[in-house]
Chains A and B, each alone.
Chain A
Amino acid sequence: MTHAPFVADTMASATLQDLGHLAPMAIVGLWGLLLMATDAFAAVGFRHFQRRIALFGLALAFVAGLTIYGNADYDGGVEVFRGFLVVDPFSAILDLVLVGLCAGTVLVAGDYARTHRFEYGEQESLLCIATFGAMMVGHAHDLLALFLGIETMSISVYVLVGARWNAKPSAEAALKYFLMGAFASAILLMGIALLYGATGATAFEGIRGGVAEAFTRWLRINDLARALDQGHTASPAASDLVIQGVAKAALLIPGVLLVLGALLFKVSAVPMHMWTPDAYEGAPTPVTAFMASVVKVAGVAALLRLFVATFSTHRLVTAPYGWTTAVALVAFLTMTVGNLAAVRQSNVKRLLAYSSIAHVGYLLLGVVAAANFYGEAFASDATLGGDGLSWSRDAGDTAVASVLLYIVVYAVASLGAFVTVAWLSGNKHEALEAYQWSGLARRHPGMALGMTVCLLSLMGLPPMAGFFGKLFLFRAVFENSNPWLQFLVVWALLNAVVGAYYYLRLVVAMYFHTPPKTAPVVLPGKGAPAVVAVTAGLSVALGVLMQPTLDRADLAARAFNYPPGPSKARRVDGLRAAWEARDPTPPVAAEEPSPGT
């Protein structure tokens, strides 16, 4: 497969130019290495400089991200390194979010490590590298990029989880996480191999083409069989044909499903979620926060990039060959099991871990909806001669935007929550049992308030951002007029009530109960409070002032999925124009019955 046309001629200039496009990611990666070096040369006493350096770099990356974020040139998406990565509003948003989340973690990690006596200089660098990997996933435009991003991230996180050498659970959690992660990535890799086998490409665009072809062939085989029944003389090469045709789809589908399984593991969906509570509990709490935010975002980004954007041809999202059935099923299991398991949890970290699982369940519904819409759009393109602005595509974009929004809002809130947990672990024994939180509101009203806001956002209570995230997500799913999905939405909302119960238990502990004799000691330093303040603030602000965020997410989504071929650029321009004109009514091409139904 040849790569997309718009790359410069000479390698070198291309590289520099591309690095420019990738500035945020590049900076973060670079800083990862830099920190490694500084740590090697810095004396032990100067460890705390590591954090400042890291924060400086992240700030730099953030600014760079902002320039790209605001830059309209990227609205159509710019492919860099010969289509290996892409820079578009979607990745721009993710860059900012990931850098922000990473910074949030960095602010706390140092204090935590110092308090618990396992301070080590590589921490910041590892965090940066993991974030770099996550960002790469966000930019991924090629299976290889995706794989490398995921692995870079995962491997660094394995280390981070196990870094607390003076505590047994840490190592255990690391091993569990590592074994399962490695197992999953092996499965992922096998899936990738099959995909490559089916489509002969690793670049998404190429895969997409191959997918379509594979399916046309698949169908033709069935037709051939029918033809044979109808008494046509079978051609001598029929058997080869069978091999060739079947093989393509027969490789493609298991490939898709294996990759799906692996990614579902990464976002810790039931039943691949088992590692989550253990890893979250055993890991140093800031790392838990990192996992619950950055890693989750990366996983969802991968799902969106690969599945919603690429594997969303009509046949791949509809039964019997579609993967959406699986995701919907898993979503159901995930939200249910996640919530139920959290109900009886007294350990705050485990509780939040299960709650994070539950949230993934809601989120997967959005993924299904988006994919369905894109599949429909794809079909209407194919049948009605591809109008990029079809109703379904617009709906799909909205769905993607909603998913994006939801994961961001969730990541912010859960970062705040976990950081609060970390902050409460000022001495040997972390305050991980709910009862230890009793009367927090009296001792530290500010933090209690912040935590409460984050919890309410997770609970999905207006006017917190979490509510609007749910609202838009479920709106998108409802729009996808499918009774099963609509039932799942109602189910999800009822689940949210169960969720409310266990979040409420923390609020109750903080506000209703009187403080115990031995109050939890809190971390020194202003890092954690700052993070909680910011996350809480965002959890409110993102909700009440949703519109601008939404515009960006929308734009991201609109540049996100594309019909193959040159129509893309035209479409994006058209979309931008339409969006500037704020015309909410898309044409209703999808309303017309298509031939064949």
Chain B
Amino acid sequence: MNHLLSILLVLPVLGALTTALLPRGEDRLAKGVGLFFSGLAFLVSLPLATAFEAGRAGMQFEERHAWIDRFGIGYHVGVDGLSVWLVLLATFLTPLCIWGAWRAIDHRSREFVVSMLLLETGMIGALVALDLVLFFTFWEVMLVPMALIIGIWGSEQRVKAAIKFFLYTMVGSALMLAAIVYLAVVHYQVTKGTLSFDLADLDRVVLPPDVQALCFWAFVASFAIKVPLFPVHTWLPDAHTQAPTPGSVILAGVLLKLGTYGFIRFAMPLFPGAAAEAAQLLAILAIVGIVYGALVAYAQSDVKRLVAYSSVSHMGFVVLGIVGMTTQGLTGATYQSLAHGLTTGALFLCIGVLYERRHTRALDAFGGVAKVMPIFTAVFMIAMLGSAGLPGLVGFVGEFLIMVGTFSGSAHVLNDPPLLVLVAATGVILGAVYLLHMFQRVMFGPITHPENEKLRDLSLREQLVFAPILALIVLMGVYPKPFLETIDPSAQALAAHFTHKRCASVALARSGASRAALADDFAEACTDPMAVIRAVYGDERAPQVSGFGPAPRQEGPRAP
């Protein structure tokens, strides 16, 4: 089964080709084919969940072939706890989107399905790629289909939004590409002539501080835009608002996650020294994003825009969890990504339902909907509460882990994490404020618009689309064990790796060398990494509570 990921990458492409060959105008058929292939992809991806060895940190389902080995570019894919669920999220949401768009997308379905499927390949690829060029390839592959989806099937301002999305992202990736190439070249020189773009290889390189900072920020430029991190978030509201429902769902559900995933997989471990230095700033940006996003969301009169800004707020939490570089934070960040994918996806689907019926997204156009659409009300409410991070629903687990990790464990990179968390936690209040505000404006109160009297409640198809998402929202909130026990080991390993490599980078900086070096060279210097870091930063920056390594369990053994 070790070709699973490759199959997973190829299936959607096959589907896209098949769909492209269909005769023109066969809308239902095209969607059917798309649904079939994406559904097949989902089924194929299920073994990722079942056959995945929990409790193992390393890569699984790994696969490696030479591709352009003149430059050491290889086809190298694999998943670990940090990516496997995101892959599943992608394969899970895509068919739902295609199915959910059964009526919303009424013209040029063929192109639509092709775009969706290519997009799926791009997302999966970016999540499983372990070679930087391969990653970058998929990263960019996602761009065009998404732009098409926004630009062709979007609403009034769609073209502007599509171009904005495209260019915004490209600026970031341009810088990242420069950093990638630079890193590879340095690796080539440091290893005396080993050409490689493989993550594992490049990860061995430790750059001198100044260059490291440059490269780190180059990566951040790309990922921060994708996340999106304040203040480079302004493409998101437009893209979300203009995109058709499936576009918004995929965008919020998976694409944004790729930004944070990039942080976790690439930016932080590759440049730990710079990451540690930048952590404070990034954390502050994240927190500003949390509060600011919430505030702005509250000021919206367009439902979709409101949810879009709520994404800014939520993703702020994820980034906060990442930059703290604690096991809990990383686990929480990953989990929160999933949570946000599900809840916000569901919210966008809900808005899509309303839009289909009323063809408007203005808050004022609704009110009292709950009276006529009880099932929809329940669905919308669960999604809304999940998004608001109600304990017992999916949103809470991630937020809690992020905040507890940052609060108690991230002193080794952040100043006064409690204060940061204090501010971040206000997001919990504000989240309730704007979400309930939205919910009340749409659902409650008397029916002011006669059009709303006759709204159909969810059709069976729509109910079936929502059912699995809601089930997950509840299940993952009540019983996160299966997810956590796969994510956690990888998170722990990453956090530990981060500290060790950061120590190496600190040692390099202290040695005053202006050339890059290999992390292995500092192995003996970093037998106790925290000690080295403390020695540099002084005890107050050093962690009071280490988030790393085997920690005592206060509440008895974890169930097997």
Question: A residues near B, CB below 8 A?
Answer: 391, 441-442, 456, 461-463, 467-468, 471-472, 474-475, 478-479, 481, 486, 489-490, 493-494, 496-497, 500-501, 504, 508, 511-513, 546-547, 550-551, 554, 582, 584-586, 588, 591
| Complex alpha-carbon distance, A513 and B69, angstroms | 42
Q: A490-B175, A584-B195 are in contact. Are A479 and B70 (CB under 8 A)?
A: no
B140 on interface, CB distance cutoff 8 Å:
yes
- Asked whether A585 and B174 contact (CB < 8 A) given A462-B140, A504-B163, the answer is no
Q: Is the CB of A479 within 8 A of B188?
A: yes
Interface residues of B in 132-152 (CB under 8 A from A): 133, 136-137, 140-141, 143-144, 147-148, 151-152
Give chain A nearest CB distance to B210 CB in angstroms.
11
What are 28 residue pairs bridging A and B, where the CB atoms are less than 8 Å apart in the complex? A456-B144, A461-B144, A463-B137, A467-B137, A467-B140, A471-B71, A471-B177, A471-B181, A472-B71, A474-B181, A475-B181, A475-B184, A475-B185, A478-B178, A478-B185, A479-B188, A490-B175, A493-B178, A496-B170, A501-B163, A511-B152, A546-B68, A547-B70, A582-B69, A584-B194, A584-B195, A585-B193, A586-B193
Q: Which of B148, B151, B162, B185 has the most CB of A within 10 A?
A: B185
- Is the CB–CB distance between A500 and B167 below 8 Å? yes
Query: Residue B68 contacts which of A468, A582, A585, A588 (CB distance < 8 angstroms)?
Result: A468
Interface of B is mostly: helix
Q: A467-B137, A475-B185, A493-B177 are in contact. Are A512 and B144 (CB under 8 A)?
A: no
If A471-B133, A547-B70 touch, does A486 touch B140 (CB 8 Å cutoff)?
no
CA distance A478 to B66 in the complex (A): 23
Q: How far is the CB of A360 from chain B (nearest CB, A)?
A: 19
Tell me the minimal C-beta distance from B162 to chain A in angstroms. Answer: 7
- Given A461-B140, A462-B141, A554-B70, A584-B193 contact (CB < 8 Å): yes
Q: Which residue, of A442, A490, A494, has the highest number of chain B Cβ atoms within 10 A?
A: A490
Are B68 and A547 in contact, with the CB atoms below 8 A? Answer: yes
Q: Does B523 contact A (CB under 8 A)?
A: no
Can you list the 5 inter-chain pairs with the closest CB atoms, starting with the nearest? A585-B193, A462-B137, A493-B174, A512-B151, A478-B185
Least CB distance, B143 to chain A, in whole angstroms:
7
- A512 contact from B72, B159, B174, Cβ within 8 A: B159
Interface size, chain B (Cβ < 8 Å): 42
B479 to chain A: which residues have CB within 8 Å?
none
A500 touching B166 by the CB < 8 A rule? yes
> In whole angstroms, how far apart are the Cα atoms of A591 and B191 in the complex?
13
Report the Cα distance A502→B136, complex, angstroms. Answer: 22
Min CB distance B267 to A, Å, is 18
User: Contact: A462 with B70, CB < 8 Å?
Assistant: no
Specify which chain B residues have a CB less than 8 angstroms from the CB of A461 in the assembled complex.
140, 143-144
Docked Cα-Cα span, A478 to B177, in Å, equals 12
Instruction: Chain A residues near B177: list those with CB within 8 A.
Output: 471, 474, 493
Q: Which residues of B contact A462 (CB under 8 A)?
A: 136-137, 140-141
Which residues of chain B are within 8 angstroms of A481 by Cβ–Cβ distance? 185, 189
Query: A511 and B194: CB pair below 8 A?
Result: no
Q: Check B192 for interface membership: any CB of A closer than 8 A.
A: yes
Within 8 A of A (CB), among B535-554: none
Least Cβ distance of B192 to chain A in Å? Answer: 6
5 additional contacts (CB under 8 A) given A493-B175, A511-B151, A585-B193: A496-B174, A500-B166, A512-B151, A551-B70, A588-B193
Q: B100-117, CB under 8 A of A: which get 1 and which 0?
A: 000000001001000000
Residue of B nearest to A391 (CB): B193
Closest to B107 in A: A442
Instruction: Report the minimal beta-carbon distance from B508 to chain A, rounded to whole angstroms.
Output: 18
List residues of chain B with CB within 8 A of the CB of A391.
193
B158 within 8 Å of A (CB atoms): yes
